[in-house]
Amino acid sequence: MNQKFKKRSKSGTLPIYIVLTVASILSLFPFYWMFVMATRPSAAYNSIPPTLLPGTKLVENFQKVLDTIPFFQAMWNTILLCSVVTALVLLISSLAGYAFAKFQFPGKNFLFICILLTMVIPPQLGLIPQYYLVSQLGWLDTLLGAGVLFLLNPLGIFLMRQYISESVPDELMEAAKLDGCSNFRIFYSIVLPIIKPAFATLGIIVFTLVWGEFLWQFTVLRDPSSYTLQVALASLNNAFRVDFGMLLSGVFWATVPLIVIFLIFNRWFISSITEGSIK
């Protein structure tokens, strides 16, 4: 009986493996195809049957990208933007999360509800005044202008409050207080080391959000020297006659760093999704 059951469940899994394999292939194919096209001349695109094997134009296509957009400048701009914004959001969120989790002050609940409401406001509602504000400050075409909007991250406070109230024991804080620690001292020598995992989660969420965001960066950054990767890539598609080999070479080289980081830290990436959305 037992053996029969085992046998049945094993043969029954074949269709499931087929479904999962097809899903994996469909998920990976655009990555592979992007690579193939990045190594082919644009004309390869017109061949029938379609080209599915890499060619020899990898370097040449990328050279064309470098001639068309300031690729490395844009890459640097993006990395700088993402890093600074992430660091600031971590600081702002953990401080506020610490306050909401561990301190009593009048109006606390009201302020926290305000933060929850902030999460519901769609970012486009304020787009025009935000653009106006940034232009009045002279921050158009600067990373300052591109980054300032991302400092507003209510989800970060929500996550940090949750994590701090669950993982930082009150006794530890009381003990530190009796030893004469100030609240800020407690924050950086007790709370910060404990919440490192939450930093990883929120850090990944913010970094990937800023890396991939388009509408705001596209609105604020008009000068090619200030382009971030997304805006620079999008501009590749605006030519009258688009060179597909070059276009996908740009996309490929802009995506490779992210894929490498993802493959190394994939567990953290995936858990950041569940923690970021479910808590």
Positions in 1-60 near another protein (CB under 8 A): 9-10, 13, 16-17, 19-20, 23-24, 26-28, 30-31, 33-34, 37, 45-50
Among 105, 110, 193, 223, binds another protein (CB under 8 A): 105
Residue 184 contacts another protein per CB under 8 A: yes
Tell me whether the omega of the peptide bond preceding residue 50 falls within 30 degrees of 0, making it cis. Answer: no
* Least distance to another protein, CB of residue 237, Å: 4
Residue 122 contacts another protein per CB under 8 A: yes
Q: Decide: 228 and 221 in contact? Cβ < 8 Å.
A: yes
* Least distance to another protein, CB of residue 54, Å: 16
* Least distance to another protein, CB of residue 40, Å: 11
Q: Decide: 41 and 170 in contact? Cβ < 8 Å.
A: no
Long-range contacts of 7-16 (CB under 8 A, 24+ apart): none
* Least distance to another protein, CB of residue 59, Å: 20
Residue 139 contacts another protein per CB under 8 A: no
Site for another protein, residues 226 to 265, rule: CB under 8 A: 229-230, 233-234, 236-240, 242, 244, 247-248, 251, 254-255, 258-259, 262-263
Residue 199 contacts another protein per CB under 8 A: no
Terminal CA-CA length for the chain: 43
- How far is the C-alpha of 121 from the C-alpha of 155, rounded, in Å? 12
Residue 210 contacts another protein per CB under 8 A: no
Residue 188 contacts another protein per CB under 8 A: no
Residue 164 contacts another protein per CB under 8 A: no
Residue 168 contacts another protein per CB under 8 A: no
- Six-digit token string for 255: 């995506």
Site for another protein, residues 73 to 102, rule: CB under 8 A: 91-93, 95-96, 98-100
Among 58, 79, 133, 194, binds another protein (CB under 8 A): 133
